[in-house]
Amino acid sequence: MSKPDNAALSLAGVLEVLESLWPEAGAEEWDAPGLVVGDPESPVTSIHLMVDVTPESVEEALEQGADLIIAHHPLLLKGVTTVAESTYKGHIIATLIRAGCALVTAHTNADAVPTGTSARLAELLELRHHEPITAGVTPGHGLGRVGTLAEPRSLYEVAVALGELLPHTAVGPVVSGDPEALITTVSLCAGAGDSLIAHPTVTASDVYITSDLRHHVASEAREQAQLLGGPALITISHFSAEWLWLSQAASELEARVSIPIVVSDLNTDPWTFQVQRVGDE
């Protein structure tokens, strides 16, 4: 796909490019990708990529001259009954409209493509021959990824490698399993992937890496693994796992449009610090 003339590219033109990269038909039924705010006929001169649409990340984008924000997480995933500026969502929408800045979301439709969020994490972990855990209709598309390490590594080493790959947040990788267990097959899902924890591909892996694992989900999976075998678990920051994809998204866009693109490095993880008990004296 050749680059269109930057001066002639409207928001509608950018939306066509985004559709070619992350088709909305690939989104989960419950999802809400696509244009949230903006006039399709308005010109686009600067694009800002981010994971979360927060007042701080929007302020950063506007200060840097963005007239289009592409966010991974939808601002309006769940229905709202008001966009009053006394609500943070209403405040953000009003701020964007006043600034003439459009907002587009690429969520599970960007997860499911062969260069999506999970694939990016798999590439950075150097997984070989990785493929979706749940295959989509289009070959190579689907949720999650499963592949093999070039050489077996201990569970502890895999967790350390993750910690070095991910941007720093208050809580790093949290692990359930024997730190000395050898890991060859890795399944993963960037973002919240507890819905895949009982998938046969996951249960046949040596470790499953995802975010937002809840107590009962993790506990039951580990108890089942104790009985019949199953993967160790590593839960990682949701924000961090998906932030890694932004540079991939920027590269794909830069190959198709002649518009300046900025990747936000603002940490929008909701957790700000943790406290560890040192012990009784």
> What integer pLDDT is reported at residue 7 of this predicted model?
53
**Contact 241/191 with Cβ under 8 angstroms?**
yes
Residue 226 pLDDT level (bands cut at 50, 70, 90):
confident
Asked if the model's pLDDT at residue 5 lies above 80, the reply is no
Transcribe 33-77 into DSSP letters. Answer: -EEEE--TTSB---EEEESS--HHHHHHHHHTT-SEEEESS-TTS
- Residue 157 DSSP SS3: helix
Q: Of 268, 252, 250, 270, whose CA–CA distance to 260 is shortest? A: 250
Chain position carrying tokens 């992937």: 193
**Sign of the dihedral through C-alpha 121, 123, 125, 130:** positive
CB 34 within 8 A of CB 53: no
Q: DSSP 3-state assignment of 234?
A: strand
Look over the chain and give the mean of its residue pLDDT values, rounded to a whole number.
94
Give Cβ neighbours of residue 8 (< 8 Å, ≥ 6 apart).
none
**Model confidence pLDDT, tens digit, residues 138-150:** 888 999 999 999 9
Instruction: Note the Cα 19 to chain centre separation in Å.
Output: 18
pLDDT reported for residue 139: 87
CB 28 within 8 A of CB 74: no
Structure confidence by residue, pLDDT tens digits, 25-71: 999 999 999 999 999 999 999 999 999 999 999 999 999 999 999 99
Asked whether the predicted pLDDT for residue 265 surpasses 60, the reply is yes
Q: Which is nearest to 104 in space by CA: 77, 81, 72? A: 72
Q: What's the confidence (pLDDT) of residue 221? A: 93
Q: Is a pLDDT exceeding 80 seen at residue 192?
A: yes
Residue 86 is predicted with a pLDDT of 95
pTM, full prediction: 0.92
pLDDT the model gives residue 280: 59
- Give the lowest-confidence range in 95-99, 185-189, 209-213, 222-226: 222-226
How do residues 267-277 score in pLDDT, each as one tens digit? Answer: 999 999 999 88
pLDDT given for residue 4 in this prediction: 54
Would you list the DSSP string of 79-111?
Answer: --S---TTSHHHHHHHHHHHHT-EEEE--HHHH
Residues 159 and 103: beta-carbon distance below 8 Å: no
Question: What's the average model confidence in pLDDT over 252-264?
Answer: 96
Choose among 152, 124, 109: nearest CA to 15: 109
* Spatial separation of the C-alpha atoms in residues 21 and 146, rounded to whole Å: 22
| Number of residues that make up the chain | 281
Q: Show Cβ contacts of residue 172 under 8 Å, excluding neighbours closer than 6 positions.
A: 163, 166, 236, 237
Name the band, by pLDDT with cuts 50, 70 and 90, for residue 79: confident
Q: What is the pLDDT of residue 278?
A: 78
Q: What's 167's DSSP letter? A: P
Q: Do residues 9 and 261 lie in contact, with contact meaning Cβ atoms separated by under 8 Å?
A: no
pLDDT at position 137 is 83
Q: Cα Rg for the chain, rounded, in angstroms?
A: 20
Write down the pLDDT at residue 178: 95
All structural domains of the chain: 6-110 (3.40.1390.30), 112-238 (3.40.1390.30)
Over residues 181-185, the mean pLDDT reads 97
